[in-house]
Amino acid sequence: MRSSRLLLVFVSLMGMLMSSVFPGRTSVKAAASNTSIYVQLMEVNSGLSQPLAITNAGDGSGRLFIVERAGRIRVVKNGALLSTPFLDIHTIVNSASGEQGLLALAFHPNYENNGQFYTVHVASDNSLVLSRFIRSQNNPDQADPSSRTTLLVIPHPTNTNHNGSTLTFGPDGYLYWSTGDGGGAGDTSNNAQNLTVLLGKILRIDVNSGSPYSIPSSNPFYNSPTPGIRKEIWAYGLRNPWRISFDRQTNDLYIADVGQSTREEIDFQSAGSAGGQNYGWRVMEGSLCYNPSTNCNKSGKTLPVTEYDHTLGCSVTGGYVYRGTAYSALKGTYFYGDYCSGRLFGLKKDPSTGWQSVQLLDTSYNISTFGEDEFGEVYLADYAGGKIYQLASTTFADVPVTHPYYRDIETLYANGLTAGCSTNPLKYCPDQVMNRAQTAVFTLRSNFGNGYTPPIAQHIFQDDWSKGPWAEPWAEEMYNNSFSAGCLASPLRFCPWDQIPREQAVIFVLHLKYGGSYTPPPAIGTVFADMTDVNYYATAWAEQAYQDNLIPDCGTSGLKPLFCPSSPVSRGLAAYMIVRAKNLTNP
């Protein structure tokens, strides 16, 4: 499944069905289960060069900040990528090797007031450098490159790879920094298990006190009597943690650690942890002994909550737990991906069955990073393509989030007023033209509730109901509740199988809004370019429905909107009209 702009897959995020390989852990399965939630990726920005990080400033500006590997930070403002970088330090950044460059960015929790932000870059001697910068006093979309202060330098002398590096402020206000084990194969220096070096670790420091920082006394090794132990260490035993993140709702910490040749893993640290976890490397690779011929002691190791082997990818990229408001179906899911294969995964903890992980998409992208905006919406970057995509979802397979009536259809479904037009997969048929019988069902259920069923038909209409006897009682109740007078008075007919044009639909929707006895004010004949006859039966209804925002125009002619009275109403437009007539919201 490949697409340059929109990806869609049938997948379950609620009650994902997985086979547990180890107690309390899962391996990722490539097949999705059969429920009606679809995950999509929407392209939101392009024109970037090797994006490695996405974040926001938390200052209410709504901007996204994107790190480019060569040493630039770009700004997305009001949806547009600004041409001038926020920060350009490419002259001091060593990006000669593929895993080197400007790697991380975090804004101070009080950035709106103090203007401070932090970066990690690789220096000319391959060391990892943590720096603090200040934004420009003259332009909020630019930083002051001369304001750089070096806080911490970690030697990385032997190899160019495994630099790790995520910067994030935790819920406790401290700065967390993930580092790789120093590179090479198998961590031959055993850095990840060595508490006297800062490689292969998660560090926790206080940038609000000390010079240039202080170490929180609550760090797990702060009071260790062992000589040489680095008190900055919060957790250890990591190979190349490529992106860590806190769940903004629960404060739990998720860690994606790139494996050697067998396993890619997601580690988990619950909120309120005292730190000090040993995530196993190089003794363990995921849940497996890295070198089974040696003594593999699993005691004291915190093993991953999920993992996958290299049939599904070769380099995990950690993401975020979705806590946004735009796509309720995604809530509570931790999203992560694989750089090599482009696969996107979702992880949740089920109270009864434990951790569940499932493959969501198989893309053509090099997923290099994820990010959150201020509202909790989640994004990912395609490293090779230089593009940013936003994660989205929809209930129906045939209603992408780009559809003009997407929000209305989702709202209609959330209120139980539609079950779609087909199942397995669930579809809505948004562009299918409505007939009068279908309109009767939509109208009555919208008015009386989603559990409404009409009484048995009394056969008042002289129509042929053989195409669908189900429609007759609905038509009669439309008539009995004054929503419709039928299509012919003598003999009385409903015309159930006729397409419903816009000029008839506005009568239904105004009755739905104001009641069956409603009559609109007299027409003025100057609202629409194509409905100027004030004596025509539908003109007043069209003008009032348009004024009430119950129906959009169908175009313009000169300076006036068009109504297109004879154009048929689609199922998507019907959702638009019902949602507004009944003031429906998406729970």
C-alpha–C-alpha distance, residues 495 and 205, integer Å: 74
The per-residue pLDDT for range 352-393, each reduced to its tens digit, is 899 999 999 999 999 999 999 999 999 999 999 999 999 999
The answer on pLDDT for 288 being more than 90 is yes
Could you tell me which residues come within 8 angstroms of residue 453 by beta carbon, excluding any fewer than 6 positions away?
none
Burial class (CB in 10 A: 0-12, 13-18, 19+), 300: exposed
Q: pLDDT confidence of 546, banded at 50, 70, 90? A: very high
Closest CA to 399 of 390, 408, 391: 408
Could you tell me which residues come within 8 angstroms of residue 239 by beta carbon, excluding any fewer than 6 positions away?
162, 180, 181, 187, 192, 200, 257, 258, 259, 260, 281, 282, 285
C-alpha–C-alpha distance, residues 289 and 505, integer Å: 67
Which string of b and e fits 427-459 if b means at least 16 CB within 10 Å? bbbbebbbbbbbbbbbbbbbbeeeeeebeebee
The pair of structure tokens assigned to 273 is 């942890």
Residue 187, pLDDT score: 96
Residue 426, pLDDT score: 92
Which string of b and e fits 471-502 if b means at least 16 CB within 10 Å? bbbbbbbbbebebbebbeeeeebbbbeebbbb
More confident: 18 or 531: 531
Residue 514, pLDDT score: 96
C-alpha–C-alpha distance, residues 31 and 299, integer Å: 33
Q: Domains of the chain, with CATH numbers?
A: 6-394 (2.120.10.30), 406-581 (no CATH)
The per-residue pLDDT for range 86-102, each reduced to its tens digit, is 999 999 999 999 999 99
Q: Is the dihedral of CA 244, 324, 356, 312 positive or negative?
A: negative
Q: What average pLDDT does the structure give for the chain?
A: 93
Alpha helix (H) residue ranges in 312-405: none
Residue 62, pLDDT score: 98
Give the DSSP letter of residue 220: T
C-alpha–C-alpha distance, residues 186 and 184, integer Å: 7
Cα angle 439-440-443, degrees, rounded to a multiple of 5 = 80
C-alpha–C-alpha distance, residues 325 and 36, integer Å: 19
Residue 294, pLDDT score: 76
The per-residue pLDDT for range 160-185, each reduced to its tens digit, is 999 999 999 999 999 999 999 999 99
Instruction: Please compute the mean of the pLDDT values over residues 28-39 and round it to a whole number.
Output: 55
Residue 88's alpha-carbon distances to 81, 91, 384, in angstroms, are 15, 8, 20
The per-residue pLDDT for range 194-219, each reduced to its tens digit, is 999 999 999 999 999 999 999 999 99
Instruction: Please compute the mean of the pLDDT values over residues 564-575 and round it to a whole number.
Output: 97
Give the DSSP letter of residue 329: G
Q: pLDDT confidence of 320, banded at 50, 70, 90? A: very high
The answer on pLDDT for 332 being more than 80 is yes
The per-residue pLDDT for range 236-270, each reduced to its tens digit, is 999 999 999 999 999 999 999 999 999 999 999 99
Closest CA to 192 of 313, 293, 78, 284: 284
Residue 219, pLDDT score: 98
The pair of structure tokens assigned to 536 is 């025509």
Q: pLDDT confidence of 27, banded at 50, 70, 90? A: low
Q: pLDDT confidence of 35, banded at 50, 70, 90? A: very low
Note the Cα 451 to chain centre separation in Å: 32
